[in-house]
Amino acid sequence: MNSTSVENFLKSIFTLRHDEGEKSSTTNMAMRLGISGPAVTDMAKKLSVKGLVVYAPYKELELTPAGLSLAVKVIRRHRLWEMFLYRVLKMDLGEVHREAEILEHQTSDSLLEKIDDYLGRPKFDPHGDPIPGVDGFIQKHQGAFKLNECVEGKRYRIVRLIYGESEVQQLFKHYQVETGKGFEVIKLFSLDGSMEVEMEGRRVLLSAVIQKRVYCISVNG
């Protein structure tokens, strides 16, 4: 059990529960980490002994205060690296996510503070994800809600994208769904929960799964 696997485990619990609103169940954790259910259980038990995870059979995994603190530190490193790679090196959004997954485990606190200072201490990364402060405080987008809460005929602006799995990243890129873009909801389909939107002159059909990963704000006043 190396430090990288521990950090990824704790970060996955946090992102599932707080970013995606999903259950941090053994099944979801296994899918997120690409490991078996028994491996998730084994890791959870070990981290429970270390005081980082609250584990109970057949229940969602929870972070202890110490586990939460460590998870937030990893997320801070990840999101600051994303911003640095995107803004300074002009890398693609999908690329910055992959590279940050590596760099988040290799960065000292002193280097991270230099990066944060150089960037002007941004509050959000290129995907609109909040960058935790050095004190652990996480700022939220005021008035933001998930795309599946939008209504027909109204206009909105995207403020945050929850990336997660690589297939989600590919869908965002394919349909050119990016933070800062405005759109109008054209049609809601009750059959499968999909939504047709018009974005920069293009009509795009977004599935119910994707809608839960897009946060927006109303621009109708």
Q: What is the CATH number of the domain that holds 59?
A: 1.10.10.10
Query: Is 123 within a domain?
Result: no
Query: Is 78 within a domain?
Result: no
Mean pLDDT confidence for 198-204: 93
pTM: 0.86
pLDDT one-digit tens code per residue, 51-96: 999 999 989 999 999 999 999 999 999 999 999 999 999 998 878 8
Query: Is 95 within a domain?
Result: no
Q: What is the pLDDT of residue 86?
A: 95
Q: What is the pLDDT of residue 50?
A: 96
Q: What is the CATH number of the domain that holds 154?
A: 2.30.30.90
Sequence-ordered list of residues with C-beta below 8 angstroms from that of 21, at least 6 positions apart, any chain: 212
pLDDT one-digit tens code per residue, 59-71: 999 999 999 999 9
Q: Which domain holds residue 24?
A: 3-63
Angstrom distance (rounded) from CA 76 to CA 122: 11
Residue finishing a domain among 30, 63, 96: 63
Mean pLDDT confidence for 35-53: 95
With bands split at pLDDT 50, 70 and 90, how would you rate the model's confidence at 10?
very high
Cβ 84 vs Cβ 104: under 8 Å? no
Residue 221: is its pLDDT beyond 60? no
Residue finishing a domain among 63, 82, 100: 63
Query: Is 159 within a domain?
Result: yes
Residue 167: is its pLDDT beyond 90? no
Residue finishing a domain among 41, 63, 85: 63
Cβ 99 vs Cβ 85: under 8 Å? yes
Averaged pLDDT of the chain: 92
Query: Is 178 within a domain?
Result: yes
Angstrom distance (rounded) from CA 217 to CA 147: 9
Residue 35: is its pLDDT beyond 90? yes
Query: Is 131 within a domain?
Result: no
Closest by Cα among 155, 163, 140 to 210 = 163
- Look at the chain and report how many structural domains it folds into: 2
pLDDT one-digit tens code per residue, 107-150: 999 999 999 999 999 999 999 999 999 999 998 898 999 999 99
